[in-house]
Amino acid sequence: MGYRLLYITASSMDEAEMLGKGLVSARLAACANILCPIKSFYWWQGKLEEGGEVALIAKTRAGLVEAATDWVKSHHSYTVPCVVSLPIDGGNPDFLRWIGEETGSR
């Protein structure tokens, strides 16, 4: 079973909390961590933008990445939310097994 970290950005702490709690409540992630604040620079509609955001990292199974991404897209305030899946190629086997157990009913 493969595991993934989902890196997600949000417009505010409230939105990040809603997304993190929602993913965990839906068993699409075993855990979510909020990192705040972050400063972002990005191109949007032909213009260089900058602003404050909140980063969210969720731990999940590889098989749930698509469903978790779809969930975030349907609950996010952004037109094109950042949801990036990063493979977990090692770590504490007990923790990785826990991720599988907590998301196993999906």
pLDDT, position 1: 72
For residue 31, the 8-state DSSP code is E
pLDDT digits (tens, 9 = 90+) for 77-93: 999 999 999 999 999 99
Q: Please say if the pLDDT value at position 10 is more than 80.
A: yes
CB atoms within 10 A of CB 24: 18
Question: Residue 16 has which token pair?
Answer: 């990040």
- For the segment 22-47, the average pLDDT, to the nearest whole number, is 96
Q: Cα–Cα distance between 2 and 57 in angstroms, integer?
A: 17
- Alpha helices, H only, 26-92: 65-75
Domains of the chain, earliest start first: 3-103 (3.30.70.120)
